[in-house]
Amino acid sequence: MTTLDVRQVCVRFGGRMALQEVSLTAEAGSVTGLIGPNGAGKTTLFNVICGLQRPARGAVAIGGRDVTGLAPFKRARAGLARTFQRLELFGLLTVAENVRLAAHVGGDRTADATAERLLERLHLTEVAATRADRLPTGQARLVELARALATRPKVLLLDEPASGQDEHETAAFSRVVREVAADGVAVVLVEHDIQLVMDVCAQIHVLDLGKVLASGPPDVVRNDPAVLAAYLGQAS
């Protein structure tokens, strides 16, 4: 079932088209990748989906409901959650408090139990009482994920979640992402770690200069000549 449907989104910054007729779908129970060079428009597209950026044209639907005109908090209530490229934790709160707060905001009457369950699932129980601003980046990324999951999202946007993680942390994170999708969440992943994207994503969309350059399963995208020239070839 299509949980996130983005149709023909256009965004203009002054005289520059940041996104041009971009469409993307994400299915419940699956991980969808969004890759491209720096400046391709990936974060701008996430901002459109979240309601932080109004498109000049196009539409966004969550679970079949058009949310294009809704404020970010109303999209969150409709089932959207996001992590950010730059960590956005409440640094003076503990790990547990960050997750409990998200659960409370999401209307969870069993917020304490929800936080405890998520911290255990993401192997964060030992740092539950630690202030968030004292965590290493790898653990802080997991706390952001736990906080997002505490809102019980239908759609989860992950913006470069492997940034700052070492090889072992990235491997563990990829397993968690697969598990989250298997729970019925539509996960959309922006990530520069191409191996992670290829490993966890069922579908990949490639942006370049604000346009969709290619879409398809990993094997198709990996071997697309235009993708190799614009992005993967540069990375290698």
User: Which one of 96, 122, 148 terminates a domain?
Assistant: 148
Report in angstroms the alpha-carbon separations of 35 from 147, 194, 215. Answer: 24, 8, 10
Whichever domain contains 14, its CATH number is 3.40.50.300
- Give me the mean pLDDT over the 98-113 stretch: 92
Q: Are residues 122 and 162 in the same domain?
A: no
12 and 116 in a single domain? The answer is no
- Over residues 170-208, the pLDDT tens digits come to 888 899 999 999 999 999 999 988 889 999 999 999 999
Mark whether 72 and 120 lie in a shared domain: no
155 CB-side CA count, 13 A = 29
The answer on pLDDT for 97 being more than 80 is: yes
Tell which of 97, 119, 148 closes a domain: 148
Where does the pLDDT of residue 232 fall: very low under 50, low under 70, confident under 90, or very high at 90 and above? Answer: low
User: How far is 49 from 41, CA to CA, in rounded Å?
Assistant: 12
Query: Angle at CA 90, nearest 5°, toward 89 and 91?
Result: 95
pLDDT at 153 over 50: yes
Q: What average pLDDT does range 58-78 have in this prediction?
A: 95
Q: What angle do CA 211, 55, 45 make, to 5 degrees?
A: 50
Three-class secondary structure of residue 80 per DSSP: strand
Residue 235 has pLDDT above 50, yes or no: no
Judgement on whether residues 163 and 101 belong to the same structural domain of the protein: no
Residues 224 and 162 in one domain: yes
Q: 23 and 125 share a domain?
A: no
Co-location of 74 and 119 in the same domain? no
Name the pLDDT band for 231 (thresholds 50, 70, 90). Answer: low
Write down which residue in 123, 148, 173 finishes a domain: 148
pLDDT band at 164 (very low <50, low <70, confident <90, very high): confident
Query: Other CB atoms closer than 10 Å to residue 56's CB: what's the count?
Result: 11
Per-residue CA distances from 70 to 51, 88, 108, 190 (Å): 7, 22, 22, 23
Per the prediction, the chain carries an average pLDDT of 92
Mark whether 101 and 47 lie in a shared domain. no
**47 pLDDT exceeds 90?**
yes
Q: How far apart are CA 93 and CA 108, in angstroms?
A: 19
Tokens representing 3 are: 């949980």
Residue 1 confidence (pLDDT): 62
Q: How many structural domains comprise the chain?
A: 2
Domain that holds residue 120: 88-148
CA distance 118 to 35: 28
- Provide the whole-model pTM: 0.91
133 and 231 belong to one structural domain: no
Same domain, 209 and 127: no
User: Does residue 236 surpass a pLDDT of 50?
Assistant: no
Q: Are residues 69 and 174 in the same domain?
A: yes
64/169 same-domain check? yes
Strand runs labelled E in 45-112: 57-62, 65-66, 80-82
Whether 115 and 150 have beta carbons less than 8 Å apart is answered as yes
Look at residue 170 in the predicted model and tell me its pLDDT: 87
